[in-house]
Structure 1
Amino acid sequence: MNKVAFITGASRGIGRETALEFARQGFDVAISARTLEEGERHAHALSHADGAPLAGSLRGTAAAIEALGRRAWIIPMDLLDATSVTAAAEQVLREAGRVDVLVNNAIYQGSDLNLPLLQLTADTLERIYRAYLLAPVLLCQALARHMLERGDGVIINVTSGAGESNPPVPAGQGGWGYAYGAGKAMVSRLSGVLAVELGGAGLRAYTINPGVVRTEALQATIGEQGVIALRNGSAPPSVPAQVMRWLALEDREGKHQRRTINVQPFALEQRIVADWREPSPLEG
């Protein structure tokens, strides 16, 4: 039976590229998100300035996986609905039969995500709890039990610098808000606990911080000119995707667990991405 990777938030961006990277390595891939078909609209979803939904869908990612000769399972999942998350874990195990690698990449991206502290509401904080704490933990619990039965498995949780440091400027002026920072801080703590509690039974767990990645979501948030301005010190989605593949397949002894891996310098240090280098400050 082929190995299976389960990638959440795989309709676009880092999740889509990670799904394709594992497919290139011979994995069959289960993918989840809310957007099944191109152009769908969802409550609390990020959109372009004109209100149009971002490009990308599970159907499109599945077609790209299948074009690489691998099998794809489409697993619809809403991070804000615990029943949907539990059903997704059950569906992937029922249909794929196993999960060797879980990548918790999906995030809540509502317009209230980075509001200033005094503007936050209980509803926003409830959504942060559901998307950033409850959903990843439910998936980890369900799939870690399955991995432990086989004595092998990898879980990768995708965090952000916002979860590990203070914003340089206030929310609304280019910094992140408390809700997003708190959400990612919860994600940052998950892999270390998994490694400490379950590492002796064959499970490996990693926390990665992709840094600034040039995705559709980033462009929708800061615009084309903003993306160009951030080119120095940023990376395409293929860089975090290849780092996650490297951790799953190459770090068999788990030497890089129990810390947050900053993807871009790590990729350079380990020479993981052959055709990429961090742009120098002098490059325009």
Structure 2
Amino acid sequence: MERFAGQTVIVTGAAHGFGRAIAHAFAWEGANVWACDVNTEGLGETARLVYHDGLTVHTRAVDVGDAAAVGAFVSEVVAETGRIDVLVNNAGGVRGQVGRPIEEISPADWQAIFAVNVDGAFFFAQAVAPQMKERRSGRIINISSGAGLGISLTGIQAYASAKAAQIGLTRQLAHELGAWGITVNNVAPGFVRSNPTTERQWDSYGEEGQRKLIDAIALKRLGTPEDIANAVLFFASEGAGWITGQVLSVDGGK
């Protein structure tokens, strides 16, 4: 069943992990997918994997923290397709940083994490809003983290703060845009081995730490990128038409 046939979907941060799985899932369900990232090599691999299944995804190199670049990309998508039905703000992460004492965090380090996790979500929502308002329909799904609801396992202050801010943005935009039939929701993943950063994090725990992490999960297993993609597709579906401003923890149960 192609639930999203004829719909145009933008997925940010699609070079690997959640973004790749989300882009692939929407393509499989018939959507016209436009995927972006700054990691062009990974983005190319996403395209190859999608094409391997006989599907199509359009890819572009876009820095989500650059408002002008975001606007240009969204304008291109609208010019080509005439519509944007779904925006998935997945781009994020820790930008190569590790946990350090607060005294050691520079303004540049702090801002770098906010730029990709919060600014990018804001710039993309701002860019797609006029077209969605005109059509009086749209879905915006932000990908946060369990860190935004609690604390960061890595101890990165900016990451926990940025994800919490993104959740606040989700709720605010839901109320602002709801009058035009636009829903805005948030998926908060638990720990998933989905990219090089999470692989390094997993390895750093050692066998005992890995066992403790899994034992703390109700379902006693780690999640997969596909688990996150399934939640995103639900929020984008007709079945979620009266759900907005919500945060769905996809973490195996805590």
TM-score, normalised to structure 1, is 0.76
Gaps of 5+ in 1: 38-56, 168-173, 266-277, 279-284
SS of 1:205's partner is strand
SS of 1:254's partner is coil
Of 212, 228, 232, the match for 1:244: 232
Rounded Cα–Cα distance in structure 2 between residues aligned with 1:144 and 1:251: 22
| Aligned partners of 1:75 and 1:91 also within 8 Å | no
Rounded Cα–Cα distance in structure 2 between residues aligned with 1:244 and 1:124: 29
SS of 1:79's partner is coil
Q: Which residue of 2 aligns with 1:209?
A: 188
SS of 2:40's partner is coil
Q: Which residue of 2 aligns with 1:170?
A: none
TM-score, normalised to structure 2, is 0.85
SS of 1:191's partner is helix
State yes or no: 1:221 paired with 2:208: no
Q: Which residue of 2 aligns with 1:192?
A: 171
- Residues 221/87 of structure 1: CA separation in 2 closer, same or farther (3 Å cut): farther
Aligned AA for 1:221? Q
Determine which structure has the larger helix proportion and give its number: 2
Superposed displacement of residue 176, structure 1? 2.3
Rounded Cα–Cα distance in structure 1 between residues aligned with 2:187 and 2:230: 12
Aligned AA for 1:30? W
SS of 1:207's partner is strand
* Cα deviation code 1:142-192 (max 9, x no counterpart): 11211111111100001112122245xxxxxx5422111111111111221
Show the 5 A alignment for 1:1-284: 2-37=6-41, 57-112=42-97, 114-167=99-152, 174-217=153-196, 218-223=198-203, 229=211, 230-231=213-214, 232-255=220-243, 257-264=244-251
| Aligned partners of 1:85 and 1:139 also within 8 Å | yes
* Cα deviation code 1:228-276 (max 9, x no counterpart): 6445352011101011112211434323x223111245xxxxxxxxxxx
Rounded Cα–Cα distance in structure 2 between residues aligned with 1:166 and 1:66: 38
- Residues 123/100 of structure 1: CA separation in 2 closer, same or farther (3 Å cut): same
| Aligned partners of 2:92 and 2:113 also within 8 Å | no
| Aligned partners of 2:113 and 2:159 also within 8 Å | yes
Superposed displacement of residue 59, structure 1? 1.4
Gaps of 5+ in 2: 215-219
| Aligned partners of 1:79 and 1:85 also within 8 Å | yes
* Cα deviation code 1:28-79 (max 9, x no counterpart): 2111111212xxxxxxxxxxxxxxxxxxx11121223334444321121123
CA RMSD of aligned residues (A): 2.3
SS of 1:114's partner is coil
Rounded Cα–Cα distance in structure 1 between residues aligned with 2:98 and 2:79: 34
SS of 1:258's partner is coil
